[in-house]
Amino acid sequence: MEKMKLKLLYSDLRPELEIIEKELEQAVDSSSHLLNDASLHLLQAGGKRIRPVFVLLAGKFGNYNIDVMKQVAVPLELIHMASLVHDDVIDDSEIRRGQPTVKAQWNNNVAMYTGDFILARALEHITEIDMPSIHHILSKTMIEVCRGEIIQIEDKYKLDQNLRSYLRRIKRKTALLISSSCELGALVSGTDEKTAAHLRRFGYFIGMSFQIIDDILDFTASDEELGKPAGSDFMNGNITLPVLCARKDPAIYAVLKANLKQDLSDDARVEIVEMIRNSPAVGEAKMMSERYLHKALKELSYLPKSAANRTMRNIAFFIGKRKF
Amino acid sequence: MEKMKLKLLYSDLRPELEIIEKELEQAVDSSSHLLNDASLHLLQAGGKRIRPVFVLLAGKFGNYNIDVMKQVAVPLELIHMASLVHDDVIDDSEIRRGQPTVKAQWNNNVAMYTGDFILARALEHITEIDMPSIHHILSKTMIEVCRGEIIQIEDKYKLDQNLRSYLRRIKRKTALLISSSCELGALVSGTDEKTAAHLRRFGYFIGMSFQIIDDILDFTASDEELGKPAGSDFMNGNITLPVLCARKDPAIYAVLKANLKQDLSDDARVEIVEMIRNSPAVGEAKMMSERYLHKALKELSYLPKSAANRTMRNIAFFIGKRKF
């Protein structure tokens, strides 16, 4: 399994990650059964905990103390979790046509407040950190992530948007939180500012690369590998890099335009996915993700060689090569 | 207009409230048109700004400095605004205060992320306060408000819930934020702890009284006065104090039970509203709200007489007597 292979790369961090896992469990605990169920479900659904991993690795460049590291790792992962729950609400309502069932509505409401609750818990953890500069970065990150969500709604179904809009979106959606994880991990462990800046940029570049690959996989991986129908992004109106590259071909542009905002049949969806998959767009998008990957690696090259540096490098390579 | 009359009570605070209004406008400003529209719409829909008013009044018991006061008044009002947007998603409300809700004007997704964005802005403002105890109260308040929202979902359509469940719910939904407003206003202006505790309890009691009256008005005021159909709470499954009092009559209980979770016709809705309105339940609920009102006034009686004390007293009386 993909997730397993990635985890091997940072198996050294397992004891520390378990501490963070316990803190996360405590953070989502509440007196409400419903809330506990929803939050624990979310927690157990797992995820790669890549943000805490980056916090910990960045911390290894300074005076690493797990009790300090977890103070930023936990709220960062909580912010990420909250945004996941709220994203699910969005996607749910996209699929649903006409009137929502009472049950669907109930779940969405629970999901919304579960997200709010987790955000509030993140805030609680943040308030325990007594470094104002850390607060500042965390709150700025949260604002930009939220802004990104809104911009994603604004940019939906806009086939004629420029590349810059896309890059701005994935920056806020993915790159910023990883970038902040690296920067904060460095800062709380007392690295010098130059090291923190290299790590911040490493996180930014690797986040951009990661999201571009994610957007490519939506067209190149199978439904089974993705755990959802390929082409979901396009069907939901999210115009990603492969589409932006593919639309340069007038014939492809016409097909995309005609199928935008349509209730696509499964055959039509597969046809569009294959059209993109077989176009030069996938190669172009891959090149762009690789350019970000190399920029990320370059940032690491400025930093002292160490086990943490190597692990970051391996994770970056892994992300660059992943097939789903 | 009701709102006008209330505003007269604190007209002395107008210059300071205008400063806070400007800060709120800045706080919801963003680079996204959609987000700006949604947030400004929400801001202009207004509201009584009762939380900032209580912050300012509480501050008058200490060393009042508007630049310090606004640091807590702004995030408290932002938290309140965010919870309003998210509530509208839940209740599927099309109208609030006679104006279309963000949810109705755009859609649930925009409403959800607008709420998230406003929460993130609240966090940004909180991080600028360099008193850890203030952070602690604010984050605890936010957690409890979110928890309250979830509990409200859990308790929906439960006609057989006990009074304690209701009180716990309105505490978290309304009383806590007002209570924190009073407490924080006192603390940031450097009052002694006893004064802050009296003001905190005043806020709590007045918040409870306020919410009970709100819940009564849902049955006794007209659709026009409410700016939404009377009986909306019951139709949405929110079991409030008038219902809890009225259900003691077996005949009323049977009607309520039969109409719970039903898609009520307008006639059926009006019939239920009138049944409650004409029952002893309204009087009982009013008595309970008055008991809280008196407890609130008692807290003020322990504090030095002053213009701020008198204004708080007047607001409390006004709330106790308001008809819609």
Give the DSSP letter string of A17-63: HHHHHHHHHHHT--S-HHHHHHHHHHHHT----HHHHHHHHHHTTS-
User: Measured between CA atoms, how close is A84 to chain B, in angstroms?
Assistant: 12
Confidence check: pLDDT of A133 > 70: yes
Average per-residue pLDDT for chain B: 87
| Contact at CB, A120 and B142, closer than 8 angstroms | yes
pLDDT of residue A55: 97
CB-nearest to B112 from A89, A130, A142 is A89
Q: Stretch A105-127: mean pLDDT, rounded?
A: 80
Judge whether A157 is closer than 8 Å to chain B, CB to CB: no
Judge whether B130 is closer than 8 Å to chain A, CB to CB: yes
Q: Which of B150, B155, B158, B261 should one mutate to test binding to chain A, selecting the residue with the greatest count of A CBs within 10 A?
A: B150
Judge whether A142 is closer than 8 Å to chain B, CB to CB: yes
pLDDT of residue A106: 57
Q: Stretch A302-318: mean pLDDT, rounded?
A: 94
| Contact at CB, A110 and B153, closer than 8 angstroms | yes
Judge whether A104 is closer than 8 Å to chain B, CB to CB: no
- Most confident by average pLDDT, A257-266, B19-28, B290-299: B290-299
pLDDT of residue B193: 95
Spacing of C-alpha A173 from chain mean position: 6
Instruction: Decide which of A243 and A141 is more confident.
Output: A243
Confidence check: pLDDT of B21 > 70: yes
Task: Find the length of chain A.
Answer: 324
Instruction: Using only the alpha carbons of chain A, give its radius of gyration.
Output: 20
Instruction: Decide which of A53 and A99 is more confident.
Output: A53
CB-nearest to B154 from A34, A108, A151 is A34
Q: What percent of chain B has pLDDT over 90?
A: 55
| pLDDT band of B1, cuts 50, 70, 90 | very low
| Contact at CB, B117 and A33, closer than 8 angstroms | no
Report the residue of chain A nearest B89, measured CA to CA. A109
The candidate with the shortest Cα–Cα distance to A118, out of A168, A75, A164, is A75
The candidate with the shortest Cα–Cα distance to A79, out of A180, A167, A4, A216, is A180
- Most confident by average pLDDT, A115-124, A135-144, B47-56, B301-310: B301-310
The candidate with the shortest Cα–Cα distance to B178, out of B1, B57, B304, B93, is B57
Structure tokens at B192: 């002694």
Q: B99-149, pLDDT tens digit by residue? A: 666 655 566 777 788 888 888 888 888 888 888 888 889 888 888 888 888
Task: Report the run of H or E that residue A190 belongs to, with start and end.
Answer: none
Q: Stretch B276-297: mean pLDDT, rounded?
A: 96
| Contact at CB, B30 and A147, closer than 8 angstroms | yes
pLDDT of residue A120: 85
CB-nearest to A113 from B121, B132, B153 is B153
Specify whether the CB–CB gap between B252 and B282 falls below 8 A.
no
pLDDT of residue B320: 74
Phi and psi dihedrals of B303, rounded to 5? Answer: -100, 155
Judge whether B30 is closer than 8 Å to chain A, CB to CB: yes
- What torsion, rounded to 10 degrees, do the Cα atoms B219, B224, B229, B232 define? -50
Least confident of A2-6, A29-33, B116-120, B271-275: A2-6
Q: B171-221, pLDDT tens digit by residue? A: 998 999 999 999 999 999 999 999 999 999 999 999 999 999 999 999 999
Average per-residue pLDDT for chain A: 87
pLDDT of residue A95: 41
Confidence check: pLDDT of A97 > 50: no
CB-nearest to B127 from A35, A121, A135 is A135
Judge whether A222 is closer than 8 Å to chain B, CB to CB: no
Tell the burial category of B131 from Cβ atoms under 10 Å away from its Cβ (0-12, 13-18, 19+): middle
Least confident of A264-278, A302-316, B38-52: B38-52
Judge whether B31 is closer than 8 Å to chain A, CB to CB: yes
pLDDT of residue A99: 42
Confidence check: pLDDT of A48 > 50: yes
pLDDT of residue B194: 97
| Contact at CB, A121 and B138, closer than 8 angstroms | no
Q: Stretch A284-312: mean pLDDT, rounded?
A: 96
- Most confident by average pLDDT, A141-145, B69-73, B129-133: B69-73
Class of the A2-321 domain?
Answer: mainly alpha
Report the residue of chain A nearest B122, measured CA to CA. A139
Beta partners for residue B100, in sequence order: B95
Judge whether B317 is closer than 8 Å to chain A, CB to CB: no
User: Measured between CA atoms, how close is A238 to chain B, in angstroms?
Assistant: 14
Q: Stretch A17-46: mean pLDDT, rounded?
A: 78
Q: What percent of chain A has pLDDT over 90?
A: 54
Confidence check: pLDDT of A227 > 90: no
Distance (Å, whole) CA A135 – CA A46:
26
Distance (Å, whole) CA B258 – CA A114:
31
Contacts of A149 in chain B (CB under 8 A): 113, 116-117
| Contact at CB, B142 and A153, closer than 8 angstroms | no
| pLDDT band of A61, cuts 50, 70, 90 | very high
CB-nearest to B150 from A32, A124, A154 is A32
Structure tokens at B158: 């439960």
pLDDT of residue B46: 61
Q: Residue by residue, what is the 3-state secondary structure of chain B?
A: CHHHHHHHHCHHHHHHHHHHHHHHHHHCCCCCHHHHHHHHHHHHCCCCCHHHHHHHHHHCCCCCCHHHHHHHHHHHHHHHHHHHHHHHHHHCCCEECCEECHHHHCCHHHHHHHHHHHHHHHHHHHHCCCCHHHHHHHHHHHHHHHHHHHHHHHCCCCCCCCHHHHHHHHHHHHHHHHHHHHHHHHHHCCCCHHHHHHHHHHHHHHHHHHHHHHHHHHHHCCHHHHCCCCCHHHHCCCCCHHHHHHCCCHHHHHHHHHHCCCCCCHHHHHHHHHHHHCCCHHHHHHHHHHHHHHHHHHHHHCCCCCHHHHHHHHHHHHHHHCCC
| Contact at CB, B153 and A108, closer than 8 angstroms | no
Report the residue of chain B nearest A140, measured CA to CA. B124
pLDDT of residue A63: 95
User: Measured between CA atoms, how close is B153 to chain A, in angstroms?
Assistant: 7
A with B: how many residue pairs have Cβ under 8 Å apart?
Answer: 134
Contacts of B148 in chain A (CB under 8 A): none
Structure tokens at B295: 């407890």
End-to-end Cα distance, chain A: 10
The candidate with the shortest Cα–Cα distance to A148, out of B120, B108, B24, B82, is B120
| Contact at CB, B113 and A149, closer than 8 angstroms | yes
| pLDDT band of A139, cuts 50, 70, 90 | confident
| pLDDT band of B323, cuts 50, 70, 90 | low
Report the residue of chain B nearest A137, measured CA to CA. B124
Instruction: Decide which of A123 and B248 is more confident.
Output: B248
Q: Name the pTM for this structure.
A: 0.82
Q: Stretch A46-59: mean pLDDT, rounded?
A: 90
pLDDT of residue A209: 96
Judge whether A26 is closer than 8 Å to chain B, CB to CB: no
pLDDT of residue A188: 95
Report the residue of chain A nearest B133, measured CA to CA. A127
Structure tokens at A236: 């939901």
| Contact at CB, B153 and A34, closer than 8 angstroms | yes
* Cα-Cα-Cα-Cα dihedral sign, residues A102, A104, A105, A106: positive
pLDDT of residue B321: 76
CB-nearest to B120 from A34, A105, A146 is A146
| pLDDT band of B294, cuts 50, 70, 90 | very high
Contacts of B139 in chain A (CB under 8 A): 120, 123-124, 126-127
Judge whether A90 is closer than 8 Å to chain B, CB to CB: yes
Confidence check: pLDDT of A181 > 90: yes
Contacts of B86 in chain A (CB under 8 A): 112-113, 116
Contacts of A130 in chain B (CB under 8 A): 132
